[in-house]
């Protein structure tokens, strides 16, 4: 993550806070935006708004868990990650039973780091009955060679069940105008068993339009899409 984006987020937080609240001279304001590696829990400090460092994976337990998690995790195949990062995180894939075969054989290199990050977020950052909404690769639900461990929908170290209660399929258009990818929105209820069939919604563009301008008004989605409901299992 670019630290500039974190600083921008903190700055916007301060601007919005100042609009509705008064700053206290006696109580420092804690800005809940961090520059961090969420997988390894190595939180870095910035030179503008410093925060305490968390130096180990186990220290994630000290963070306050949340009711809702919303995000767009990075999409990077294992094969393209730096070698030292692979060595530091390889054990986590087997810890979460995301890759059952012993060793990281050839088929594993196509696995995506977003898979691991999603499970760590569910395990370490979300409350036991919380909900997660992530932007993910649509291939995680349909690929034979990718996402097999992901589709078990269970945090194996704690035997915590996960229910993917809704998936929005965005593959018929380009939500990211300059990117070529197959995008989906995944919604998970933690602490609940899978209830098939899953509510699977395909966003079908009207008039065959595949790209939209940045001024697209999300409140007027029905003008641009037909939402086709399907029932599916993974």
| Per-domain residue ranges of the chain | 1-63, 64-232
- Higher local confidence (pLDDT), 100 or 232: 232
Question: Assign residue 175 a region: left if phi > 0, alpha if psi is -120 to 50, beta otherwise?
Answer: alpha
Token digits of residue 83: 């070698």
d(CA 80, CA 86): 10
Token digits of residue 24: 């206290």
d(CA 227, CA 211): 17
Its CATH class, for the domain covering 64-232, is: alpha beta
Residue 129 pLDDT: 96
- As a whole number, the mean pLDDT across the chain is 82
Whose tokens are 């939180």? That residue is 43
End-to-end CA distance of the chain: 31
185 and 227 in contact (C-beta within 8 Å)?
Answer: no
d(CA 187, CA 164): 6
Q: What's the average model confidence in pLDDT over 195-200?
A: 91
Listed in sequence order, the residues at least 6 apart from 143 whose beta carbon sits closer than 8 Å to its beta carbon are none
198 and 165 in contact (C-beta within 8 Å)?
Answer: yes
**Residue 54, pLDDT above cutoff 50:** no
pLDDT digits (tens, 9 = 90+) for 69-112: 999 998 988 888 898 888 888 888 889 998 755 555 555 567 88
Q: What's the average model confidence in pLDDT over 20-29?
A: 88
205 and 225 in contact (C-beta within 8 Å)?
Answer: yes
Closest CA to 201 of 149, 233, 166, 158: 166
120 and 39 in contact (C-beta within 8 Å)?
Answer: yes
Instruction: Using the Cα atoms of residue 133, residue 115, residue 213 and residue 203 in order, give the sign of their dihedral.
Output: negative
Residue 52 pLDDT: 45
**Residue 156, pLDDT above cutoff 60:** yes
Residue 102 pLDDT: 52
The pTM (predicted TM-score) of the whole model is 0.82
Residue 123 pLDDT: 93
HEC string for 130-152: EEEEEEEEHHHCCCCCCCCCHHH
Neighbours of 221 (CB within 10 A): 11
Closest CA to 167 of 133, 122, 210: 133
């Amino acid at each position: 993550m670019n630290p500039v984006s974190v600083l921008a987020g903190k700055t916007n937080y301060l601007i919005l806070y100042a609009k509705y609240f008064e700053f206290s001279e006696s109580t420092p304001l804690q800005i809940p935006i961090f520059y961090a590696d969420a997988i390894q829990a190595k939180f870095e400090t910035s030179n503008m708004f410093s925060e305490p460092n968390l130096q180990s994976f186990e220290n994630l337990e000290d963070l306050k868990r949340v009711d809702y998690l919303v995000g767009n995790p990075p999409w990077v195949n294992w094969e393209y990650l730096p070698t030292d990062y692979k060595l530091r995180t390889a054990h986590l894939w087997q810890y979460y039973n995301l890759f059952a075969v012993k060793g990281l054989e050839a088929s594993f290199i196509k696995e995506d780091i977003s898979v691991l990050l999603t499970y760590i977020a569910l395990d370490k950052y979300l409350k036991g009955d919380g909900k997660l909404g992530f932007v993910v690769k649509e291939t995680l639900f349909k690929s034979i060679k990718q996402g097999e461990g992901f589709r078990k929908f269970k945090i194996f170290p704690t035997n915590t069940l996960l229910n993917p209660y809704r998936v929005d399929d965005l593959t018929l258009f380009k939500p990211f105008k300059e990117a070529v990818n197959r995008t989906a929105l995944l919604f998970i209820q933690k602490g609940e068993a899978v209830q098939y069939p899953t509510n699977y919604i395909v966003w079908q563009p009207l008039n065959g339009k595949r790209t939209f301008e940045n001024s697209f008004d999300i409140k007027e989605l029905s003008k641009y899409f037909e939402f086709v409901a399907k029932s599916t299992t993974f």
